[in-house]
Structure 1
Amino acid sequence: MKIDVLVAEIGSTTTVVNAFHNLDSSNPIFLGQGQGVTSVEEGDVTIGLREAMEDLKKMLGIHELEYGRFLATSSAAGGLRMTVHGLVHDMTVKASREAALGAGAIIRQVTSGRLKPSDLRKIGEIRPNIIMIAGGLDHGERDTALYNAQKIAELGLDVPVIYAGNTDNAEDIREIFSGYKGKLYLTENVYPKVDVLNVEPARKIIQEVFEEHIIHAKGMDKVHDLVRGRILPTPGAVMESAKVLKEVLGDLMIIDVGGATTDVHSVTRGCEEINRILISPEPEAKRTVEGDLGVYVNRRNLVERIGAEKLKNELDLSEIDIENLPPIPKNQLEREIIRRLTAEAVSASVLRHAGSVRNLYGESSGRKSVAEGKDLTEVKYIIGTGGALTRIEEMDRILMDIHLESRGQRLYPKKEAKVLLDHDYLLASLGVLSLEYKEAAVMLMLKSLHFDEREGAIDVPMH
């Protein structure tokens, strides 16, 4: 049998390969998944990729993998390093950050106003994969973005530059970068009007840049030889799934607990009452990445948050048990450690993602309530994905208890929000698949989530 599509997800600790068939039919099939250990440190990620493909062949009971397409997502070796340079921190800089994070980038530097010599030195030290320049409402302030563009061009880097600022600057930006070694991308303004975010066009450009220019890890060039289609950053692929599922299920959030990071994606406009008192606008689709909250690479940070002695007493552990924790747990004790670390990662990441209401007091106006950050109160579904949440039993309880963490006036999901798990661990792969097989991807998402269609009519979005 010739499989329609293979999709590899090359993560920081594990690599999986998923096989899909009958994608052009009304009954798409997920055939199975192979798994391997990501082999960044061996200098070639294809070692782990081929291990996952061998595992898939054993699972399917076949000797050769014949397939039509091979797509991939990757978050190996820390993701997409990016610097963002705007005009006003709470306006264009914030909008640029939202576009970058939603596409799967890791923000290494953010500046507002004119770039200082120290800012320019730091850009050189970071060696970013992408530089984004923004600033100025459309038909508004022009000079800051032009000044920053000139200074960045003078650095002589061979780095893709995205301009997403005042559209009146387009011709001048092209002229400034006319002799630049890297490629220039011009897209729509991320902050075209006051209180208006326009991040989707920039997100799409960032993903295109990733595919054209970025090799995440040692050996990723060899992955391009295998892949017959798109390679997306894994967080960007999960965001694609989140946006597609929003069309079907309504407001939702996806929590992706990985070995190196914990990412939270939410797709919701929030409630009107909160929107009226927001200090600054929030995008409908928002992602936060917590680079210190991975359950394997960054487990020490989670252990410190819990308290090493407390964790040892809770689970009757030794220091050796924590130190020797493998990327894929093999026994019950290791699964218990991962479960506890995952609970801490979920708690901390949702706290950082969610907004809150606070009260301001003035002598003449009295008390005034204002909201900051993302309003999650309208979220209907909390979805868990990633190896930690989907490969160990009873992890849905962690997500069910999220509302209990909402203290004070934090804008958390309500207790009525329902929990779904990505049982087949497919959301990243189905995100990249949805770009070409949207109907099939949605049906496979709902199957993986064990979604009960009796809860309501399901309209699968068409191309």
Structure 2
Amino acid sequence: MKIDILVAEIGSTTTVVNAFNLYPCPTFLGQGQAPTSVEDGDVNIGLKSAISDLVDNLGTNRIECNEIIATSSAAGGLRMTVHGLVYDMTVKAAKEAALGAGANVKYITSGKLRKSDLRKIKEINPNIILIAGGVDYGERDTALYNAELIADLNLDIPIIYAGNVENQQEVEDIFRGKKAELYIVENVYPKIDELNIEPTRKVIQKVFEEHIIHGPGMGKVKEMITGPIMPTPGAVMEASKLLYEHMGDLMTIDVGGATTDVHSVTPGSDEISRILINPEPLAKRTVEGDLGVYVNMHNIVDMVGKEELAKKLNISLGKLERLIENYKPIPEGELEIAFVEELALHGAVAATKRHAGRLRYLYGPSGKKTVAEGKDLTMVKTIIGTGGPLTRLPNRVEILKQIPLNKKAHELLPNKEVNILIDNYYIMASLGVMSKKYPDEALELLKLSLGIE
């Protein structure tokens, strides 16, 4: 069977492959999946098993692909550390760029690095280090100081410099002769209250593609890939940005087994923009590493409270304890499904509240003044659910409807009139990476999976 394009999503626990034809019209053919084989020392095993599953699901003996592209979050995904000058300014801008590219930001520093910071960087063993600091033609010394210390570590990884433009030549001199491959990018914070994160975001994804070694056997996988490969969360962001151009302000929520990602693409309202303390990017991603419905299930249980959960599920505390003790990655039976729905609900609401901005009231000689900080979601018209739980649970739409209903007066959350859409085929990440080469076809397939005209 001939297939135009195969997209592999190599996750921490599961590898999924999605098959598409692009001609004469974009068509989703089917999906295969298998456990990711990190523990076997070669993720290629899991990829081949997922392709075999796809072959069975398509009812054929073998498939031939014109192109194979991929996303990956195996072995912790894209680990980055970010180092800037002032936390609310250059550090925040660099962090936004890294998260928006799909990175897992493991460590952030502001100001001059200390010995303890350098030890932490070596412990984390990041895939990429991002150095920022100083507006253009402003403070220079901190970024140069940090660059020298990081260069002395002599790490064999890519280093991205996205700080004060005046430092670019000196940073090149600092890293000359070192193992690290240096990338010089436009400043992420060129002027006060101005973000410029897209150039850095694009370079991070380019570096990821060129240096992907994040899981055992990824080198073999890269040999199979004929097109782009990018971090899975970055691919979801690309799909969200593509949809924004078509349907306006939106957010995408991915509740997973270990984390919950929230992507928003909205400029916010003019009213809130006028009182924002610090600028926010058009496209923003946050990842909550403590909110997941399997690996981090106990965090959500503790947040809600066992008595409250037992009450919601209409069971005894003892039965809830047994349910938690015997909990499996994929729920079976009505009670287990209801339990996961409660976890997904509270995970989605909590993650969105952390992603969203809020109003604050400052009191001074002239009286009370209202200011805003963080991302304004009040203009979001559509919430999209993707990921395992929010594409498979029976009450997935009702779960997402609860987000605006839990809004408090000071929170900049979407309004209750928001439209809910589901990535029914669970192909959003695949279409995000596909959109790099085939944006029109990816958009058509996205609309198909979301059930919109």
* TM-score w.r.t. length of structure 1: 0.94
2:108 to 110, 114, 121: 110
- Structure 1 residue 243: Cα displacement: 0.6
Counterpart in the other structure of 1:210 = 208
Residues 41 and 336 of structure 1, relative CA distance in 2, 3 Å threshold = farther
Counterpart in the other structure of 2:135 = 137
Counterpart in the other structure of 2:65 = 67
CA deviation digits over 1:253-303, x for unaligned, max 9?
A: 000111221100000000011011101000000000011112122212122
Q: Distance in 1 between matches of 2:337 and 2:75?
A: 25
Q: Distance in 2 between matches of 1:399 and 1:6?
A: 30
Q: Distance in 2 between matches of 1:297 and 1:8?
A: 23
- Structure 1 residue 309: Cα displacement: 4.3
- Is 1:45–1:217's contact at 8 Å kept on the other side of the alignment? yes
SS in structure 1 opposite 2:292? Answer: coil
- Is 1:14–1:327's contact at 8 Å kept on the other side of the alignment? no
- Structure 1 residue 320: Cα displacement: 4.1
Residues 338 and 50 of structure 1, relative CA distance in 2, 3 Å threshold = farther
- Structure 1 residue 24: Cα displacement: 4.7
- Structure 1 residue 196: Cα displacement: 0.6
- Structure 1 residue 215: Cα displacement: 2.1
* TM-score w.r.t. length of structure 2: 0.96
- Is 2:5–2:69's contact at 8 Å kept on the other side of the alignment? yes
- Structure 1 residue 38: Cα displacement: 2.5
Is the deviation greater in 47-56 or in 389-398? Answer: 47-56
- Structure 1 residue 312: Cα displacement: 4.2
Counterpart in the other structure of 1:405 = 406
1:342 to 341, 344, 360: 344
Aligned-pair Cα RMSD in Å: 1.5
Q: Distance in 1 between matches of 2:74 and 2:306?
A: 28
Counterpart in the other structure of 2:11 = 11
1:77 aligns with 2:72: no
Alignment of 1:172-251 (within 5 A): 172-251=170-249
Is the deviation greater in 213-222 or in 380-389? Answer: 213-222
Q: Distance in 1 between matches of 2:285 and 2:96?
A: 7
2:333 to 306, 331, 339: 331
Percent identity between matched residues is 61
- Structure 1 residue 222: Cα displacement: 2.8
Letter in 1 for 2:38: V
CA deviation digits over 1:417-437, x for unaligned, max 9?
A: 100000010110000000011
- Is 1:162–1:186's contact at 8 Å kept on the other side of the alignment? yes
Letter in 1 for 2:33: Q
Is the deviation greater in 324-333 or in 48-57? Answer: 324-333
Q: Distance in 2 between matches of 1:134 and 1:96?
A: 7
Residues 267 and 295 of structure 1, relative CA distance in 2, 3 Å threshold = same
Alignment of 1:444-463 (within 5 A): 444-451=445-452, 453=453
Counterpart in the other structure of 2:96 = 98
- Is 1:24–1:437's contact at 8 Å kept on the other side of the alignment? no
Letter in 1 for 2:443: V
Letter in 1 for 2:387: G
SS in structure 2 opposite 1:232? Answer: strand
Counterpart in the other structure of 1:361 = 363
2:321 to 304, 319, 322: 319
Residues 397 and 243 of structure 1, relative CA distance in 2, 3 Å threshold = same
Q: Distance in 2 between matches of 1:267 and 1:196?
A: 17
Residues 339 and 41 of structure 1, relative CA distance in 2, 3 Å threshold = farther
- Is 1:381–1:418's contact at 8 Å kept on the other side of the alignment? yes
- Structure 1 residue 220: Cα displacement: 2.2
Residues 295 and 160 of structure 1, relative CA distance in 2, 3 Å threshold = same
- Structure 1 residue 335: Cα displacement: 2.1
1:271 to 269, 279, 288: 269
Residues 439 and 193 of structure 1, relative CA distance in 2, 3 Å threshold = same
Q: Which runs of 5+ in 2 are unaligned?
A: none
- Is 1:74–1:233's contact at 8 Å kept on the other side of the alignment? yes
- Structure 1 residue 313: Cα displacement: 4.9
SS in structure 2 opposite 1:357? Answer: strand
Letter in 1 for 2:78: L
- Structure 1 residue 229: Cα displacement: 1.8
Is the deviation greater in 85-94 or in 297-306? Answer: 297-306
Q: Distance in 2 between matches of 1:180 and 1:308?
A: 54
Counterpart in the other structure of 1:425 = 426
- Structure 1 residue 135: Cα displacement: 0.8
Residues 326 and 65 of structure 1, relative CA distance in 2, 3 Å threshold = farther
SS in structure 1 opposite 2:108? Answer: strand
CA deviation digits over 1:72-131, x for unaligned, max 9?
A: 111122221111111111110000000000011111211111112222222122211111
CA deviation digits over 1:231-270, x for unaligned, max 9?
A: 1100000000011000000010000111221100000000
Q: Distance in 2 between matches of 1:4 and 1:213?
A: 26
Counterpart in the other structure of 1:168 = 166
Is the deviation greater in 416-425 or in 391-400? Answer: 391-400
Letter in 1 for 2:116: S
Counterpart in the other structure of 2:372 = 371
Letter in 2 for 1:302: I
- Is 2:78–2:103's contact at 8 Å kept on the other side of the alignment? yes
- Is 1:190–1:202's contact at 8 Å kept on the other side of the alignment? yes
Q: Distance in 2 between matches of 1:350 and 1:313?
A: 24
SS in structure 1 opposite 2:166? Answer: helix
- Structure 1 residue 159: Cα displacement: 1.8
Counterpart in the other structure of 2:301 = 303
Counterpart in the other structure of 1:461 = none
- Is 2:212–2:219's contact at 8 Å kept on the other side of the alignment? no
Q: Distance in 1 between matches of 2:166 and 2:71?
A: 36
- Is 2:128–2:157's contact at 8 Å kept on the other side of the alignment? yes
Paired residues in the alignment total 449
- Is 2:82–2:109's contact at 8 Å kept on the other side of the alignment? yes
Alignment of 1:19-58 (within 5 A): 19-21=19-21, 23-25=22-24, 27-58=25-56
Residues 404 and 423 of structure 1, relative CA distance in 2, 3 Å threshold = same
Letter in 1 for 2:133: G
Residues 290 and 388 of structure 1, relative CA distance in 2, 3 Å threshold = same
